[in-house]
Amino acid sequence: MTLALIDAGPLAALFDPRSLAHRHYMDLLARNGARLRLHTTWPCVVEAAHFLSAPKRWAMLQWLGECAVTVYPFDQADLLAMLPLMERYTEPPRTDMDLADASLLWVAGQASIRSVLTIDVRDFYRYRLPNGAAFDIL
């Protein structure tokens, strides 16, 4: 079993057939779904829901409600550990690390997860796990 994080982009792409990434993530889950245990965070769910129209959003939320993905919880005090990550990986004016990405990087450290499904390849190549290793991008 491989633990993997799923970012907002792939989460939305799975439910939007018009997305350029839809087929990639559908195929990835069809080939590896039984071997993947997916995790995400509430900021990623909210961001993905924002990207989707109502019927697609409802389908995504139903899929999550059926426990297809574990939504990793965190307390508000955990934001104090995420804020330094956001400060570290923000490089104005080119890029800002948002809360969704910071929450995934934080979860990776908490749960020792190295793999991530993300469309934001450029950002996730920059991010480093607590041991200094790079993510395995799926």
What domains, with CATH codes, occur in the chain?
2-137 (3.40.50.1010)
Q: What is the pLDDT of residue 93?
A: 75
Residues whose CB falls within 8 Å of the CB of residue 28, separated by 6 or more in sequence, listed in order? 117, 138
Q: What is the pLDDT of residue 102?
A: 98
pTM score, whole prediction: 0.93
Q: What is the pLDDT of residue 91?
A: 85
Q: What is the pLDDT of residue 94?
A: 76
Q: What is the pLDDT of residue 33?
A: 75
Residue range 88-123, pLDDT digits in tens: 999 887 789 999 999 999 999 999 999 999 999 999
Intervals of the chain under pLDDT 50: none
Q: What is the pLDDT of residue 34?
A: 81
- Quick check: 7 and 38 in contact, CB under 8 A? no
Angle at 82 between CA 14 and CA 12, to 5 degrees: 10
Q: What is the pLDDT of residue 1?
A: 86
